[in-house]
Structures are given as structure tokens and as C-alpha cells.
Amino acid sequence: MNIADFKTLFEFNSWANARTLQAVDTLPEEQLYVDLKNSFGSIHGTLVHLCGAEDIWLQRMNGADPGVFMKKDVFSTYASVKTKWSDVEAGWKKYISVLTETELGRTLTFHNLKGEQVTQKVWQSLQHLVNHSTYHRGQITTMIRQSGGKPVGTDLIAFYRLQNIS
């Protein structure tokens, strides 16, 4: 993958996150906190995890080690998660706008949430982040459906078609 590919991938990620939040917005807020027996319990819990993961990876890209992971009790409302997510999205947009081939090939060393030292390439971390977000958006889609809402499509191919990317 080259710089243009990563820029497109992060445009997709931002688009898919926005569409997911739009679908969540259609539900009564109390539904967001209902434990649906998912990986992170509720829609809110999954959103905190998803935003938290994107945030900690951004912190790592910017040199934070160890980074601080978002906690559900600190971001206890949907509004607080959306506000934080807006900041995280802005941070990624800034990071990606100045991304270079050298940065893609840089070795990233940090401590994971278990305290273990990890070393990997930036490009691997960026691909992982988008893949991880896609996975959890899929969980949110299911929970929206379980809550009586109408989820929206966030597939990569839908983004390509919408953007007329060939």
C-alpha cells in the first residue's frame, strides 16, 4: 500500500464511523446502555471501546507510551463519546494529511495494555486500526438491529462505489 491507499482507507474509516453514529442517533438514548451480551455489553460500551482504540493508536503514532485508554465511566454518556470521537477524528485527519512513505516504514515500539513491549511497522498498525474498527462497527450494526433500529451499510465496497473509486 502507498500513501494514497492509506489516505483512502482512513477516509473510508471516517465515513463508516460517521454513518454508524448516524444510525445510533436514531435509537432512544436509553437503548444505548442496555447490556446486549456483546463483547463490551452495550452499544455505548462498544462505542467507547471503538473510539478508545482509535484514540490510543493515535496517541501511539504521536509518541505516547503508554497511552491512556478511554474508560466507560469517564465517557459515561453518548454525548461525551461523540465529543471525544470528533477530537480523535480530527487528530487522525491531521496525522494522515502529513503521512509519508518514511513514516509508513517506521518501526513503532510501545507497551500494549497488558504492559508488554510491542514492535511493529506503522503501516501494519494503520491497517490493523481500520480492520479493528470495521469489526466493531459490525457488532454495533447487530446491536442496532437487536434494539429495533435500522443499521446502515458501512462496507468498504459501498464507500468505493459512492466515491466512484476504481
Summarised one tens digit per residue, pLDDT across range 137-166 is: 999 999 999 999 999 999 999 999 999 876
pLDDT at 128: 98
Among 84, 97, 98, 78, smallest CA distance to 56 is for 84
pLDDT at 1: 86
Residues 6 or more apart whose CB falls under 8 angstroms from that of 45 comprise 38, 72
Residues 80-135 have pLDDT tens digits of: 999 999 999 999 999 999 999 999 999 999 999 999 999 999 999 999 999 999 99
Domain that holds residue 145: 3-163
Give buried/exposed letters for 116-154 (b at 16+ CB in 10 A, else e).
eeeeeebbebbeebbebbeebbebbbebbeebebebbeb
CB atoms within 10 A of CB 20: 24
State the total domains in the chain.
1
CATH of the domain at 124: 1.20.120.450
Mean pLDDT (the chain) is 95
Listed residue (78, 90, 86, 83) closest to 25, CA to CA = 78
pTM for this structure? 0.95
Summarize the confidence of residues 1-20 as an average pLDDT.
96
The Cα 127–Cα 142 span in angstroms is: 23
Position of cell 454513518? 19
Handedness of CA 141, 166, 96, 65 (dihedral sign): positive
- Percentage of the chain exceeding pLDDT 70: 99
Residue 44: pLDDT over 70: yes
pLDDT of residue 164: 83
Give the tens place of pLDDT for each residue, 55-69: 999 999 999 987 789
Distance CA 160, CA 166 (A): 7
What per-residue confidence (pLDDT) applies to 67?
A: 79
Angle, CA 36 vertex, CA 33 and CA 41 arms, to 5°: 65
Residue 166: per-residue pLDDT: 67
Percent of the chain with pLDDT over 90: 93
Cα 60 to the center of its chain, rounded Å: 14
